[in-house]
């Protein structure tokens, strides 16, 4: 697919494979080709992904890896990297480390806004057994949004949760003695850092700094799937409890016990998946939250939302290619299985949306976000961007219907904003996420006014 969000083709990059020439006097007519070194295998793998040849990359994977990251999943990974770090530019030199029985090969990839250490794990059979992101070094530092006054607050490091899942976080405190109202920020899906960094943009940092400027303390932290990527990948029965809710509950407890924070005025602000799960989190900590804010919150089944997003992206360039139609058909089958009575804990993850285990989808079946929100006796705030294609405006209606009888619920619609609450015009595309932007000031102002009024 010729989409701007994919890796661009590598121009002039030569991958050197270790081969012996079958020539020269006195040598055998044919010399066996030795096994390529792990670094060469890893480079070939990344080159295939970078050029969009996901089938070739998947053919290099070990069976367990292939089940989790077949060609379609590799395409989504490539798209995610470009969304996170901007347009791909080049690969650097490989470095290897032995982790018996594996070899980890780290190759720096240069993107528009960061240099990213891509780690490819090679097993004893010289197959790719893992692929994940290591260190990230930003190359662009944007100025704070106009609504931020850096002199009005301080920031310090905190630790959220307990062993073996402790998470690094940041506490942003207004200057003064308090006690201050406090907010816990929850990111969307995927292995996000505390700022929900996407390329050069940091939407949750924008919100944290904007709220702190107006006298509200904010706690945000890295997700467990980022800090413990390898460990989480080994969990066979993962659910949103391990991915999101356990750590959110720990963060709420930490903020409520922090000096100069009013424990009776602690709020949860979730974005996307974090917004979808906010009612569930609040229901698990009765009496601990004064309110929840749901920014771009899905209201329907998440598998259907994945299909909707895929079809939208495919429609951006007009007629579907055969490859695009095949991808949509595959996702339709995966979504149908995820929602079918035939889904069991033993259903292979490779047959389900995004390669996520059956345990995850089975757990979400037990959660009704609308009914859960309606059962809460706390303040609620909803934002909805008119240009959001990931959680489109149609997702807001069911929330409004379900909560029609409640008095302390605020709905705010922002016609020009996308899923990240960035302003723009025309149909929203993933490419705009890589353009340096800030969360719209009106959203931050509305959130601050909502918190301060409770």
Q: Pick the catalytic residue: 40, 272, 383, 428?
A: 272
Tokens describing residue 44: 């070939």
Closest Cα partner for 191 from 107, 237, 251, 131? 131
Q: How far is CA 369 from CA 38, 269, 398, in A?
A: 46, 15, 10
CA atoms within 13 A on the CB side of 62: 16
Q: Which has the closest alpha carbon to 245: 202, 285, 292?
A: 285
Catalytic residue (one of 222, 383, 419, 437): 419
Residue with tokens 């240069």: 110
- Inter-residue contact 399 to 382 (CB < 8 Å): yes
Q: What is the rounded CA–CA span in Å between residue 227 and residue 272?
A: 20
Nearest CA-CA partner of 384 in 307, 336, 440, 337: 440
Token representation of residue 32: 């066996």
Q: H or E element: which one contains 293? A: strand 291-295
Q: Which backbone phi and psi does 109 adopt, to 5 degrees?
A: -115, 130
Rg (CA), the chain: 23
- At residue 435, φ and ψ (nearest 5 deg) are -80, 130
DSSP 330-358: HHHHHHHHHTSTT--TTS-GGGSGGG--H
How far apart CA 265 and CA 285 sit, in angstroms, is 14
**Catalytic annotation on 340?**
no
Residue (of 86, 32, 157, 125) closest to 432 by Cα position: 86
- What whole-number distance in Å separates Cα of residue 285 and Cα of residue 111? 41
User: Alpha-carbon distance 181 to 268, whole Å?
Assistant: 11
Q: Cα(435)–Cα(439) distance, rounded to whole angstroms?
A: 12
Active-site hit among 195, 206, 246, 388: 388
- What tokens appear for 149 in the block? 């006054």
HSE-up of residue 333 (Cα within 13 Å, Cβ side): 10
Known active-site residue 419: yes
Nearest residue to 187 via CA among 139, 255, 111, 244: 244
246: its two tokens: 């356990």
Catalytic residues: 272, 388, 419
């Amino acid at each position: 697919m010729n989409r701007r969000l994919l890796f661009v083709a590598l121009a002039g990059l030569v991958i050197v494979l270790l081969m012996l020439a079958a020539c020269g006097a006195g040598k055998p007519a044919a010399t066996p080709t030795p096994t390529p070194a792990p670094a060469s295998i890893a480079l070939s793998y990344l080159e295939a992904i970078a050029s969009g040849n996901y089938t070739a990359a998947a053919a290099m994977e070990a069976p367990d890896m292939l089940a989790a990251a077949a060609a379609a999943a590799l395409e989504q990974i490539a798209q995610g990297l470009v969304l996170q770090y901007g347009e791909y530019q080049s690969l650097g030199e490989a470095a290897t480390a032995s982790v018996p029985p594996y070899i980890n090969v780290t190759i720096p990839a240069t993107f528009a806004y960061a240099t990213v250490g891509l780690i490819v794990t090679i097993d004893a059979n010289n197959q790719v057994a893992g692929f994940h992101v290591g260190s990230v070094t930003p190359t662009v530092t944007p100025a704070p949004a106009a609504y931020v006054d850096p002199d009005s607050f301080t920031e310090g490091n905190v630790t959220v949760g307990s062993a073996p899942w402790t998470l690094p976080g940041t506490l942003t405190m207004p200057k003064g003695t308090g006690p201050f109202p406090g907010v816990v920020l929850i990111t969307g899906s995927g292995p996000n850092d505390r700022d929900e960094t996407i390329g050069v943009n940091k939407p949750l940092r924008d919100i944290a700094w904007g709220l702190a400027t107006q006298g509200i303390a904010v706690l945000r932290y890295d997700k467990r799937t980022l800090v413990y990527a390898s460990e989480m990948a080994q969990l066979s029965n993962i659910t949103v409890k391990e991915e999101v809710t356990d750590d959110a509950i720990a963060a709420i407890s930490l903020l409520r016990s922090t000096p100069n924070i009013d424990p009776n005025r602690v709020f949860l602000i979730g974005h996307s998946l974090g917004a979808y799960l906010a009612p569930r989190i609040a229901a698990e900590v009765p009496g601990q939250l004064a309110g929840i804010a749901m920014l771009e919150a899905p209201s329907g089944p998440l598998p259907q939302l994945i299909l909707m997003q895929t079809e939208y992206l495919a429609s951006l360039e007009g007629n579907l290619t055969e490859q695009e139609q095949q991808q949509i058909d595959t996702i339709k089958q995966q979504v149908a299985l995820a929602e079918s009575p035939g889904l069991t804990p033993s259903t292979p993850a490779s047959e389900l949306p995004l390669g996520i285990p059956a345990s995850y989808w089975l757990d979400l079946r037990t959660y009704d976000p609308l009914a859960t929100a309606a059962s809460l006796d706390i303040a609620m705030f909803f934002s909805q961007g008119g240009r959001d294609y990931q959680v489109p405006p149609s997702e807001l209606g069911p929330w409004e219907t379900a909560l029609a009888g409640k008095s302390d619920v605020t709905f705010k619609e922002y016609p020009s904003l996308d899923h990240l609450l960035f302003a723009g015009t025309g149909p929203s595309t993933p490419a705009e996420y890589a353009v340096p932007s800030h969360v719209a000031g009106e959203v931050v102002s509305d959130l601050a006014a909502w918190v301060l009024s409770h």
